[in-house]
Amino acid sequence: MSEAATPAALGYRMPAEWEPHAATWLAWPHARGDWPGKFETVPWVFAEVVRHLLAGERVRILVDDARMQRRAGDLLRRAGVGRARVEFFRVPTDRSWMRDSCPQFVRRDDGDVGLVGWRFNGWAKYGNHRRDARVGDALARLLGRRRWQPAVPDGRRPRPVVLEGGAVDVNGRGTVLATEECLLSRVQARNPGVRRDAIERLLGAYLGVRKVLWLGRGIAGDDTHGHVDDVARFVDERTVVIAEERDPSDPNYEPLRDNRARLARMTDQDGRRLRVVPLPMPSPVIFAGQRLPASYANFYVANAAVLVPTFNDARDREALAVLAGLFPSRPVIGIHAVDLVLGLGTLHCLTQQEPA
């Protein structure tokens, strides 16, 4: 695609998460293997998320078929969730992590909304991702929206660019957060041979950003190779919360300290210093000997609430208080995520916002 035809060249940008939503997209949970021995509780967590989302926006849910739609609808009814603004779409998925398999929405100032469909390859880890990889095509057809598919030259044929939504976080004004571990490391197989400057040009052309703030590594237990949405998040145009580990013996201590030091030296797209606010990490969450990616930074900013994963931890209250101070116009609501995180993701991972 020529630069003249990219979303940014046509006036589109990816809005910040706190800008108004038309809807939040979810995929109803069904991959039992993602939550071994705990799956039965996960749909109830989804129902709780839907209940809070409906206070301010529509909720659009992908289901595999009519049977799954009936089961989801029945559970929502039993959970006391109103259905007036819940819409189901029969689009089969492999998993329920819509932050990564769903296309990203971009918006133009005249209100037109389009889709950016990066290639999804199962986080360069899981082979069973073919249905998730087709979600972008399906939504473009269902919504009748224009869709762009970023690619780089590769011999005679362009090579689609791999990127998941959890790998980036934007302030809506031209700056994006990302980690080198996720997008630049040679260890994982997203875009071999694609250099830092090319990634920056792609993010600019397709998400409408002018500056990439590169952090280092993600958190222990994260199987996405360092998604930034467990590490650092914009909460307004110039304020970033950064996950902070206070125990020097924890494997997260040094990487998160390095990320905070980097942010302290960084500026936004206009050269203004960032305000950096520490957000505590919970105590390690371990299941069957495996460290899980528990992080309060995986919160989701909805129209009428900020939903924050909690872990039955002494620091839950502190994390909620920090975020409440940063979002004074929205209630900050904790969602119990000890079972949910067994699937190696929490609230931000399972949601994708569609701008109004």
Q: What would the 3-class secondary structure string for 30-71 be?
A: CCHHHCCCCHHHHHHHHHHHHHHHCCCCEEEEEECCHHHHHH
Closest among 73, 147, 68, 142 to 105, alpha carbons compared: 147
Tell me if residue 349 is catalytic.
Answer: yes
Distance CA 243, CA 253 (A): 10
Tokens 């809005």, located at residue: 15
Structure tokens at 29: 């949970």
Three-state DSSP state, 226 = coil
Alpha-carbon distances, residue 185 vs 283, 293, 315, 344 (angstroms): 27, 19, 32, 20
Largest distance between two CA atoms of the chain: 56
Distance CA 100, CA 228 (A): 12
Cβ-contact 342, 287 below 8 angstroms: yes
Q: What DSSP line would sit under 69-101, residue for residue?
A: HHHHHHHHHHTT---TTEEEEE---SSS-HHHH
Of the residues 199, 305, 342, 349, only one is catalytic, namely 349
Report the catalytic residues.
349
